[in-house]
Structures are given as structure tokens and as C-alpha cells.
Chain A
Amino acid sequence: MTASTAGFATIRQSDGHDPSGGSAARWGIVAAIAASVGWLLLSGTAVAQESASGFSLRLVGTFRTDNPNAHLAAPVMAGGRLLLLTPFPHRLTALRLGPEGLHPEWRFTPETDRMAEGTACCGLGVRSPAVAGGRAFLNTADGRTIALDAASGTKIWEMRTADRGSGESLASSPLPVGDKVLIGNAGDDFGVRGWLKALDATSGATLWTRYSTGPDEDVGIGPDFAPFYKIARGRDLGAATWPPGAWERGGGSVSGPLMADTGLGLVFHGTGRPAPLNPDQRPGENRWTSGLFARDLATGAARWFYQLAPHDQHGVSGTGPLILADRDWKGRARKLLIHVGLNGHVYVLDRISGELLSAEAFAPVNAFRGGAAASGAIAVAQEKATRVGATTRDVCPAWTGATSSEGAALSAETGLLFIAAARLCMDIEIRPANYIRGTPYLGANVRVKGPPEGGAGELVAWRLDDARPAWTVSEPYPLLGGPLWHPRGFVIYGTLDGWLKALDARDGRLVWQQRLASGVVSAPMLVRGADGAEYVTVLAGRGGAAGPAAGLEADLRDATAARGFGNLLRGLSAEAQPGGTLYLFALP
């Protein structure tokens, strides 16, 4: 460690390739060189990498997916194999990894419903499969949940869990817990009604379904429900805080991560934004959307709920990263739930009671005023309130969120939370939304843009205890993937313009970077190979929340293209091509 620290010092003096520290002009030149190198890499003949410290990840293998969509699903390990789920139309490939690289062992190609391309969320990407008890569980964008034998790839069961015809899809990873598999749906853009389902892990039968809107019975609110804040108490609030019938198509999807605490017997999940984006069409607090639920693992009954944005006007949902941590908080040992909000705040809650302990902004935020921790509810800044038929300008964060659902990693011993941040603002104009089943139910025109001071992305090292950044590293494009923190003291993350970077976890100095074939919208993973060595896998392949703006199909002359990302990403297409490649790096 000492040696590499010395290496860092030499970087700062000799190297002009540091994008965060260098001037814009220098960065531009480097980008141009790197782009041409990236092209070489695509043809598989050369690798560009830069390191002045001696720290270096060694590329040991690549695997091309031949899929142009958003590669959100980092591969998972199952019995010495890497299971790689490529975007829709899906294929699950089991790769054996070792010092000699990646070798496909078997493939599983589920049946596909091509019509799902029109309705599937998130650039047709689905988060990683989950492995438990020798079985792999995967969600597909066309609404199936499938259980496979993790060793052979034999299908055990397959269930249509989401109704594709209404615009529903699956986007998040399944969560196997005990004899159950929990899944959540996606489709806020189509006005679906969010739910969390428990499937029987053996048969795939639905055990229970808990909705995010509607009467208490549907939501799973019963006598055990004890929210910390009074505002969430009342009868049938999931229907009473909506105009008649609006909750039936009110969004609140469970498209973010699911996090279980088996000790407490709880599962935590966020709920998506209310649908449509037009807040005028859904007066009221729109419970239980844009919030966090704690539910009983066994029954799905709600324990507590914290609403991040009552009557969400800006479309920032509650589906950000969730991290469980047992830490000392203000001198008291507490079981914490850390939620890195898409609304640009790090929320720290007591995960037993649902009490909010802290909520501070890690990204540019002007849509809300502070003070959430005191009152339990965030206040909308009046000058950034949205209005029908008028454009509210420079609202931060953008509705695409200040991070992504795998966008944070916690270093428990140092108390540093690493956040892959999207420092985005938007111009938003509220329009009437028409509900036609199976078609988008949006109700807004949005142009997404970076903050005026530049730097649309940022890697934030957040000090959990005093709720402020320790250091930040600026990036030209929003970070849509996630960071990997390695106990040896570095952080690895990929960028939308195709760089894989390693930083010193203490001060954020760049220690190594490498150009990849495409942008990265997933988190790098640390895996242990069959040989016992540690490897880092990185899945490149643009897309994701940026949708096709980061891919081929969008025409960026339209500022509202690709959920408004078109406006931001003009100029990106020259720098990194879509298409998926899995990289396997050996640690030094």
C-alpha cells in the first residue's frame, strides 16, 4: 500500500491523462486518442491501459454478447461459473473462468415475447439473476420469472409473473430468501400498479402479492403496520390519497433492489414514482409511491413506510440503492437502512422503526428544501414546483435519478459510501397524459441536462457519519452503473463513455484506467474464480436509464429523445459504441 501511495504522487506530477484533474482541452485530446484505441479494442487486437503507479488490473478474458441493448446485469457466480444474463432478448450464458479467460459452458435461451420490446423498462435490460440453493432465478423483460438448475441450465419452472399487455415488465433482480423468491415489477411509465410478489421457490406458484397502491388489504397493511411518522397512518391511504380510480394505474413499481434482513425477518424495497408524471392528474399524497417499505418476509405485511416524496412532482422514485448496515449512529448502535435516493439524498433510517435519521444531498438538488430529517417529509421548493403547460427550468435532480439502483457501495469499516452519481437537472413541462392500456402514460416533456457548472457525473465518497462528501471525482457523463469497493482500498467503476477506472479509496486519486469497448451501466463485480484467485468482472454495454440515447436508435436532434437524455448525450455517440462485452480482470 505504501508503494502505491508513492506511485500516486508521481501520477499527479507526470500524468496529463487524469480526466478529473486535467483541463478540458487536455481531456478532449485524451478522449480522442482513447476513442481510436477503443476502436482497436473492438476489433480485439489491442488494449489501451494507463497506469503510472504500478497498480494495474490485468485483462485475462473477454466475452462478446452480440446484444446492443443495455447491459445492466453484472454476472453472478454460481458454483465456479459466471452466469451472464444478457439484455432482451435474453440469453443466460454460464462461463467458466480461470487464468486463461472465459469459456462458455452452457446457454439457456428463454422463450421471448418480442412485443415486450415496446414496453420493457430501462433499455431492455434486466438486473442480474440470483442464485440460491443450487438454483438460479432470473427475471425477463417480457415478464417471466424462471428458475434454472445453476449447474446444468435445466429449466425447473417458468412463470409469467408480469402482464406484458398492460406495459408491465420485470427489471430488478429476484431475491431468493428461504423457500421463497421475491420479485417486483416495473412499468411506471405505462401506469401499471406496482407490486411485490413472493413465489414458491420450488414450484413458482405465487404465494402473495402486495401492491404499492390501493386499499390496505391489497397493500398488505394490517395491525402490524406501525410507521414512525403519523402522516403515513390512516385507513386505505393507498386509495384515499388518489382521485377515484387513479390508484389502479398509479405506478409505484418495485423496480429497485430488494433487500432482506433475515435476522429481523424483514424485506426492504422502494416504490416507484406515481403515474402519470403529470401531478395534476393525481391530486393527493399518492401513497404508497416514491417511498420505502419494510415488509414481513413471511407474509409481505407492511411494517413501516417512509414516503420520500408525497405527491411526487418530479418523477424521482424510491427505487435507489438499499444498503443494510449495523453501525454506531450518534453514539448508539443501530440497525440502519441506507437508501441512496434517486432524488439526490442519502437517507439513513432506523430499519426497525422506520425513523429517518439523516437525509442530506449528495448531488445538486434544488427541487427540494432541506429539513426532511426533522419533519419526516421532504418539502418541495415552490419555485421548482411543476405546472401544467409551463416549463419549470433547471430542476435538479432530473427524473432519471441522481444515481441508479446499483449505484452505491459501502465500505463498512471506513464508513465511506461510494456513490456513482448522475448530477442531472431537467427542464420539465407537464402535459396531459392519456391512459390507453399498454401505451405510455407519461404526461411531461423533459430535457435532461447537466448542472451549469459542468460535470454531469461524479463519483462521490460520502462520509456516512457526518453526512458530507469526503472527496468527489467529476465525470463528464452521468455515472449510470455502480462502484465496486475493494477492501484493499480502491474503488472501481465504469463510465458511460467507456472508461474503467480505479481510484484510491482514501482520496479519490486515479490509479489506473482503461478504455472499454462500450459504456458501462452496470457495477463491476469482485468474484473468486475456481483457482481461488480474485477477479474483477466488468460488463460494458451502454443503455439503461439513458435508454437508447446511449445506444444506436435515438436521434439526439430531439432534445426530449430517450426520456430527455437526448439533450444531455449529444456528442456521446462518437465516444463509445453500444454492444456488450464482459471483461475479466485479474487483480495484481
Chain B
Amino acid sequence: MRPHPRLAAAALLPLLTGCTGPQSALDPQGPNAASLAWLIWTFTAVCGLVWLLVLLTVGIALWRRRASSGAADEPLRPESATERRKQGVVIGAVVATVLIIATLTLMSFVATRSLTASSGEPLTVRLRGYQWWWEVTYTADSPDRFVTAANEIRVPVGRPVRLELSSGDVIHSFWVPSLAGKQDMIPGRDNVLTFTAERPGSYRAQCAEFCGMQHARMALVVIAMAAPEFESWLDAQRQPAAEPADEEQEAGRQVATGKACAACHTIRGTRAAGTVGPDLTHVGSRQTIAAGTLPTTRGALGAWIADPQTVKPGNKMPMVPLSADELRAVSAYMAGLK
């Protein structure tokens, strides 16, 4: 736990870091998040002003000069005239409160209405939460063009995305602050979240409802791409898994389809068709593995496969005993599944 100079510097500038970041509600990248950010700033301004006014009044009440009357310790007996005057002021303050509250309520109501409205033919993506990863299914007009992936959502810029949220076990909550507010994924219920990304980029999302031991490591990335790029990416995802490029990868495929891996994971185009773990057909093309825990590199894949319970204690992937060669081969194969 060596102190890190950059962290210390960041600690001194808390307010400067407040507005940006890959997962910030105040760094909106889509109309929904933008109107929410505007709402946050407005509420903050109004509420902050009220707060300052109240404190100012308390300050004045404390330090204003008073006519000294009577013994210092003797309790005052309020005069009815001043009491009545104060009564008027208090009533005025209450009326002002009511007005402010009513205005804020109305604003929030209008904002709700505008969030639910969207224009254009949306891209429908099914997102299903599991302990502790996300299954992403891109729908299409024909089921054979559906794509099932995991822990990463790619969306075209400028087109509304309709996320159909569900859960396979406990309650999760999908939250990508840069693009939209959060929406829960509840067993036995179907929720929908619609958002649009306005600029290309990758936006971090995270599970926002406590869902068990690895709640902290249940993140995903929303990657917004230009529409044509997105379409070609989606076409690539529709293809079965890439053939091994060399002998090592071929050996890796033998391991992946012959060992316990295949009982949980699908690699389309091979015998591996398990459905209880994430689809690995194009795992090498994703930015992260294990729901945002590690970057997708060959080394990280190796570390993860070798000992998942140390990287992410409690997750449902067991430590499958592999020899060093098998481990090298299978991580090479996985990294090659672009």
C-alpha cells in the first residue's frame, strides 16, 4: 500500500475530477443523460441557494445586535407584537418553500416525460444479469441474425437503443451514467431502458443493486460506434468462432472444447455449447473479461483461467486444473477469438 503521488494530487482536487470520467453522471454523452445532468445542476443550484439562505438567516439570527434587556440568564418573555410579525415572516417562508417544491416537482415530472419519449427505430438489445456478469443479446428481424455476447454492449451512435432488462438470478441494476439513469433487473419482471449515445466512445456501466459477493466486479462497457462500423462489427459477431491461426491455438481449442470449459461456455462453431457461462465465441474482441475485471489480453486471460477465484473470489467459474502448456494454449486460443 505505497502512497501514490497521483492519488494524493487527485485528493486535493476533488471538485475538478467531479465532472469527467468514464462513468460519471455529470459527463453526459447522450440526450437522456444530458437532460438528467441539467436537472442535477438545476436542483443543485436551487437547493444550494436555499441552503445558503437558511444558513445565512441562522447566522444573522445568532449575531444580530440585540437590545439588552433584563438579566443575562433570565428567560425572555416574548412580546406578542414581535411574535406576530415573525409569524408573518415564517408563513412567507413556508409559502416560498411550497412554491419551490412545486416547481421542482413539476420540473422532474416534465423531465420524466421527456426521457421516455424517443425518436427513430430503436436497436433492441436484451440484457440479462447473472451473478456476476451480463448476457447481451442483439436482436434482429430474423432470429438467425441474433448475436449473443457478454459483458460489453456496442451501440450505433445516434440511434436509440432499447434495452430489455431481465435477471437470471437475483436483482441487478443496469447503470451507465454517461448515457442514462439506472434501471433494475428484477426476476419475474421485464424492464426497459431506452437511451441514445451521441458521440463515439466507451462508457463504463456497472451493476448498481447489491447482488452478492462480487457486486463490485460486475461492470461492463458500452461502446458507441459510428453506425456503419457498428453494422460491420455486428456482422463479424454473427460469424462462428475464428479458426485457430496456429498450432498453439489449435491445441487451445482442443482444451477449450474437451475440458470442463465446454460444459458452461458456448464457442459457436465448435462442440462447446454450454449456456450457463458467458458466450465466448468472440471473447477476444471484447475489451474486458470477467465483467470488467481484467482487460482482454492473453496474459490476463491466462491469469483468469488459471485461478479465477483469486481474481474474483466467489464467482461461479471453478479453477480447472490445466498444465502450463494447456493454459498457454487455451489463453492463446481465447485471445485469438476476435
Contact = CB atoms under 8 A, between A and B. Distances in A.
Asked whether any CB of A lies within 8 Å of a CB of B in the complex, the reply is yes
Interface of A: 239-245, 248-249, 281-284, 388-390, 432-437
Contacts of A283: 139, 143, 146
B120 interface: no
Contacts of A281: 275
Given A245-B268, A245-B269, A433 B146 contact: no
B240 A245 contact: yes
A433 B240 CA distance: 21
Contacts of A389: 168, 187-188
B271 interface: yes
B264 interface: yes
A434 B275 contact: yes
A458 to B, nearest CB: 36
Contacts of B268: 244-245
B143 A242 contact: yes
A433 B275 contact: yes
B146 A244 contact: yes
B274 A244 contact: no
A240 B144 contact: yes
A436 B188 contact: no
Nearest to A239: B144
B146 A434 contact: no
B193 interface: no
B338 interface: no
A432 B273 CA distance: 13
B148 A243 contact: yes
Interface of B: 139, 142-148, 166, 168, 187-188, 238, 240, 262-264, 266, 268-269, 271, 273-276
B240 A244 contact: yes
Nearest to B237: A244
B275 A241 contact: no
Contacts of A244: 144-147, 238, 240, 268
A187 to B, nearest CB: 15
Most chain B CB within 10 A, of A240, A244, A388, A435, is at: A244
A239 B262 CA distance: 23
Contact of A434 (B168, B188, B274): B274
A284 B263 contact: no
A435 B274 contact: yes
25 contacts: A240-B144, A241-B144, A243-B143, A243-B146, A244-B147, A244-B238, A244-B240, A244-B268, A245-B266, A245-B273, A248-B273, A281-B275, A282-B143, A283-B139, A283-B146, A284-B143, A389-B187, A389-B188, A432-B276, A434-B263, A434-B274, A434-B276, A435-B273, A435-B274, A436-B262
Contacts of A436: 262-263, 274
Contact of B188 (A240, A243, A390): A390
Contacts of B188: 389-390
Contacts of A248: 273
Given A244-B146, A245-B273, 6 more contacts: A240-B143, A241-B142, A243-B144, A244-B268, A245-B268, A283-B143
Contacts of B264: 434
A283 B264 CA distance: 21
Nearest to B270: A245
Nearest to A247: B144
Contacts of A249: 273
Contacts of A390: 188
- Residue among A241, A283, A433 having the largest count of chain B Cβ atoms under 10 Å: A283
B283 to A, nearest CB: 16
A303 to B, nearest CB: 25
Contacts of B139: 283
B252 to A, nearest CB: 20
B137 to A, nearest CB: 8
